[in-house]
Amino acid sequence: MWDLRWVLLGLGALLVVGVYLWTKGLGGRRLLPDTSRRARAEPSIGDPSSATGGGGAASSLPEPVAAAEPAPRKPAAPDRVITLRLIPRGDDELSMERAVVALTGAGLKHGKYGIFHREDAGGEPAFSVASLTEPGTFDLANVQETTIAGLTFFVVLPGTGDPVARFDAMVETARALSVELAADLHDERGSSWSVQRERYLREEIIEYRLQAERH
């Protein structure tokens, strides 16, 4: 069971896909400037025709060019995703029913993409929580007798609102649930969560906010 859980921890692709899907639904906002360009066709010039009658040369006019179709827009990727994992202690997995009750009690709502979100005053996600067991969703119709490998908390930047406040709220919530669910906190690499790691990430987010304000 232990080996299985750590294999599941390596499913970084699950988080990337979930975040990608979530960023597509952030109110139609683009996180990065669109770099697509409208294709431009150069006019073609015909070969000069032979002179007739007076021996003069005549050039053909440019052929009409159809308007080029605009290049399709590609969804922009988020600038950054900050991740925090909650793993049950020992060899036991986490009861999905207990996890759902704890998340709901912490003020999170089950919503888009079948995962939980802490919403801000405007109804946008401050941070989100997915299951560490594929496919990452919470099937509320089958929570009893179902277990999961743990929870993954993540905040997508830039998103809406103060990123530092959103990060602090995520850490505070995860820490409270770790006590309630008898679980330990880990970073995105699977290492134990520490005060030093928390301060390092928080300082990075502060710098990220400053850079965003300059632009």
Task: Give the pLDDT confidence of 70-118 residue by residue, as tens digits.
Answer: 666 655 556 889 999 999 998 789 999 999 999 999 999 999 999 999 9
- Considering the entire predicted model, what is its pTM? 0.65
Residue type for position 74:
K
Residue 201 lies in a domain: yes
* Nearest alpha-carbon partner for 153 in 196, 198, 122: 198
For residues 151 and 9, give the distance between their C-alpha atoms in angstroms, rounded to a whole number: 10
Number of domains in the chain: 1
Residue 209 lies in a domain: yes
Domain limits at 165? 2-20+77-214
* Nearest alpha-carbon partner for 103 in 90, 118, 122: 118
Residue 57 lies in a domain: no
Instruction: Say whether 22 sits in a helix, a strand or coil.
Output: helix
- CATH assignment at residue 105: 3.30.1400.10
Q: Which helix (H) or strand (E) holds 164?
A: helix 163-180
Of all residues in the chain, the percent with pLDDT exceeding 90 is: 50
Q: 26 versus 75: which is more confidently predicted?
A: 75
Residue 46 lies in a domain: no
Q: 4 versus 207: which is more confidently predicted?
A: 207
Residue 118 lies in a domain: yes
Per-position DSSP letters for 92-121, written without gaps between them: PPEEHHHHHHHHHHTT-EE-GGGSEEEE-T
